[in-house]
C-alpha cells in the first residue's frame, strides 16, 4: 500500500473522529486497511466501499451508505481550510497539457462540473490511456507550475462506462493537492480558453493564444487584487 494513500486514510480517520462519524464495532484506525487492495485511482472511495460491505457507518447517528458522498464530505471539509494568498509572487504559472507526465499514482480530488465538449475546447482530445480491465479509459495529463494533475473518467458501479459525451469527469492530483483549487476553477469556467502542450502562434505577429496564467484565473474569480503584469520574453 502506498505511503500517499496511507496518509490520506489517516487524515480521513482523524476527520471521522472529529465529526462523530462512527463505524459500528470498530475504531477508525490503520487495522481497517487490512485486506483492502488499493486501486490505481479513486482510492478513498474504493476503501470506503470495501468497509461498507460488511459494516454500517453513520454520522451524528444518521446512517450513510454512499461511499462517494462520505468521501466528498471529507474532501469538502479539507478544501475549506485551503487559503488563497492575496498577493502572488512574480512567478508565472500556466495550465499545460503534457502527454509525457506520469499520472499512474494520481489521487482523486473532486468531480468536475464541465462537459466533455467543454474540456475538448480547452484541452484538445483526451488520451486513451486505459487498457482492458482498467477502471478508466480517457485522460488529460496536466501540469500547473510544478504540480501534476489528471482529468479522467471512471467506471460505474455496474462495471460499465458512461457514453463519451456524458462522462462525469474526475480531477486527480499527483504531487500538490493545494494547486487543484485553481486548476478546478479554470476547468469549470464556462468561457472556452485554449490550452495546448506548446504555445501556438498566428500569422506573422506571433500572438500567443495558448497560455493561461494564474493571474487570469485568480482575477476572474476575484481572488487577487494586486498581481504583477504577465510578460512574455
Domain limits, the chain: 3-79, 95-220
Note whether 146 and 176 are within 8 A (CB): yes
From CA 212, how far away is CA 143, in angstroms rounded? 12
Q: Which residues pair with 170 in a beta bridge?
A: 111, 152
92: which 3 cell numbers?
508565472
Reduced to 3 states (helix: H, G, I; strand: E, B; else coil), residue 17 is helix
Cα separations in angstroms, 21 against 28, 61, 203: 9, 8, 60
pLDDT in tens, the chain (233 residues): 788 888 888 999 998 988 889 998 898 988 898 889 888 888 888 899 898 888 899 988 889 889 888 988 888 776 554 444 455 454 567 889 999 999 988 889 899 999 999 999 999 999 999 888 889 999 999 999 889 999 999 999 888 999 999 999 999 988 888 888 889 988 988 754 444 444 333 333 333 333 344 444 444 444 444 434 434 34
Note whether 102 and 129 are within 8 A (CB): no
From CA 171, how far away is CA 32, in angstroms rounded? 26
Amino acid at each position: 500500500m502506498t505511503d500517499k494513500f496511507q496518509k490520506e486514510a489517516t487524515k480521513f480517520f482523524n476527520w471521522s473522529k472529529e465529526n462523530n462519524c462512527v463505524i459500528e464495532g470498530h475504531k477508525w484506525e490503520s487495522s481497517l486497511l487490512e485486506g483492502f487492495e488499493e486501486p490505481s485511482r479513486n482510492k478513498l472511495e474504493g476503501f470506503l466501499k470495501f468497509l461498507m460491505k460488511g459494516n454500517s457507518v453513520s454520522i451524528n447517528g444518521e446512517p450513510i451508505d454512499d461511499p462517494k458522498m462520505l468521501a466528498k464530505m471529507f474532501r469538502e471539509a479539507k478544501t475549506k481550510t485551503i487559503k488563497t494568498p492575496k498577493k502572488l509572487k512574480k512567478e508565472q504559472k500556466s495550465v499545460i497539457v503534457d502527454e509525457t507526465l506520469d499520472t499512474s499514482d494520481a489521487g482523486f480530488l473532486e468531480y468536475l462540473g464541465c462537459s466533455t465538449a467543454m474540456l475538448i475546447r480547452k484541452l484538445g482530445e483526451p488520451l486513451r490511456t486505459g487498457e482492458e480491465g482498467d477502471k478508466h479509459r480517457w485522460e488529460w495529463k496536466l501540469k500547473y507550475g510544478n504540480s501534476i494533475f489528471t482529468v479522467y473518467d471512471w467506471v460505474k458501479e455496474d462495471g460499465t462506462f458512461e457514453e463519451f459525451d456524458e462522462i462525469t469527469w474526475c480531477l486527480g492530483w499527483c504531487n500538490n493537492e493545494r494547486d487543484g483549487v485553481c486548476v478546478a476553477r479554470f476547468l469549470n469556467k464556462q468561457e472556452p480558453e485554449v490550452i495546448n502542450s506548446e504555445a501556438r502562434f498566428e500569422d506573422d505577429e506571433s500572438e500567443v493564444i495558448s497560455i493561461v496564467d494564474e493571474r487570469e484565473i485568480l482575477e476572474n474569480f476575484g481572488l487577487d487584487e494586486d498581481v504583477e503584469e504577465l510578460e512574455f520574453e
